[in-house]
Structure 1
């Protein structure tokens, strides 16, 4: 049988799009095995406000990989983290060695490790997320396993972000750096043990998952307050580029709220099935937050080695 859909004049069932473009989309969806929320097995049902565009259970890794090459309701989720993840990998390989580190002869191995530590964490987080959204339709067992990988990636990003900035905030106060790093490791380990629990992946824990990771991230408020008390506002802002850190926090908070409340699809079910639903917005906001953190690291690196509030690197101004 030909893969081409033949359209005949017939009475459309309720809810079916009658215009030509809508029919073409529906035909392509059928050709690639896409289905509606009602057609999904129970284990694939997560967001009942997204009505169309689901990839059916594949039971095949190759079919999961092939889903990268046609459009479905996970496509934006995949590529909004796959492309930035690849970019962070390129930065990890080339940027620090050939652009950033050669800026100053005073650059230490600690600088090299801490900047690459964040880039590695960002790369792993985004790639784990992309793999999850690509492979989740394989089977229930694979979905559960990749979901845990996804959550572990988030923990890695939060931990790497906090430790890298702790170094620049307390580079000359080793006790404080060690203390707060130990706290991050302990909290990260607790989070890891928690997310590996199958109950954590339940649908009714969605809002709690969002709040859980936000609280882990907000444990970074303690060292920031410590720095403000110890160094004063002006010095602290220069050490950790506080403006960018606050922007980072804002992006993550808004992303968590959007994810937890399922906005905007909760208001208009079916209107954001392929583009614009909450998980996609969450992905974009996470990337924006990670960019803000990387920008803060660059500024902190320049301030540590020059004591100046401006840098010539990419003509970026460091917070004065």
Structure 2
């Protein structure tokens, strides 16, 4: 299957947001790999590297989740940590499934593509829940309010991603608005926390700098992918290994790993600090 045919599936899934086929996912003059399957023959594909990355790191995340430190009892802190890890694992799993079934039927490609985009929504929600849990640890009212808002935004994004009625160019602005709403539900509480407690306190509370690193790594990956770097600079040299798509996957994994360490550090911090509710 060519990259253009692959994007047709994204468009039918309602996820081909850009205006021309040349701008769509995978349809770039810098990439020359054809995604063809020939009976009885297995060909090296650009997506093979993507599959390896997401599969390996999903397994690592699951292993970490299954070996949470036994010093902690199962409580709200463990739930916050578990939600983050499970959301990241789900993201990698959906991406893995999408790349595996790229050459399947049109209907399968369409639905796995939608779930691939749902894999963006779920970790955003998981990050919001975990960061606000630890960032507003002693403020249960704010903690619950932000969790509810983030969950509502996540559900709204999930519906607009999966439901066929929101597919196609006509709903593009609405879908974009839902994703912006979800991003703000994660970002704005942190800004308020900084104003309320200060940078140093928020870093101790919810590993703020790990959260920032997560955003920078994911933002860098998205920027490289959107600008088609490095294949734009070296046409034909990154067709199988080193394309912007693969670099994006690596940066997404690194960002998830960095904030995973941050979430565990935040939980460790609150095990030794007395909680004094602000008035």
Q: TM-score, normalised by structure 1?
A: 0.70
Give the CA deviation at 1:41.
Answer: 8.1
Whether 2:71 is the aligned partner of 1:90: answer no
Gaps of 5+ in 1: 1-34, 309-320
Distance 1:42 1:131, change over 3 A: closer
Give the CA deviation at 1:109.
Answer: 1.0
Give the CA deviation at 1:212.
Answer: 7.4
Indicate the residue corresponding to 2:36 in structure 1: 55
Q: TM-score, normalised by structure 2?
A: 0.80
Which of these residues, 96, 113, 119, is aligned with residue 153 of structure 1?
119
Work out which of the two has the higher radius of gyration on C-alpha atoms and give 1 or 2. 1
In 2: Cα distance, 1:232 partner to 1:193 partner: 36
Indicate the residue corresponding to 2:110 in structure 1: 144
Indicate the residue corresponding to 1:124 in structure 2: 90
Q: How many residues align?
A: 256
On the 8 A contact 2:217/2:252 being kept in 1, the answer is yes
In 2: Cα distance, 1:87 partner to 1:108 partner: 21
Whether 2:162 is the aligned partner of 1:196: answer yes
Which of these residues, 217, 225, 232, is aligned with residue 251 of structure 1?
217
Which of these residues, 267, 271, 277, is aligned with residue 305 of structure 1?
271
Whether 2:71 is the aligned partner of 1:103: answer yes
Gaps of 5+ in 2: 10-20, 275-279
Give the CA deviation at 1:72.
Answer: 1.3
On the 8 A contact 1:126/1:153 being kept in 2, the answer is yes
Whether 2:206 is the aligned partner of 1:226: answer no
In 2: Cα distance, 1:268 partner to 1:87 partner: 33
Higher relative contact order (CA 8 A, sep 6+): 2
Once the two structures are superposed, residues 70-126 of structure 1 have per-residue CA deviations (whole angstroms, 9 ceiling, x without a partner) of: 631110111111100011111122x21xxx2x335xx55112211111111111110
Distance 1:36 1:164, change over 3 A: closer
Distance 1:209 1:134, change over 3 A: farther
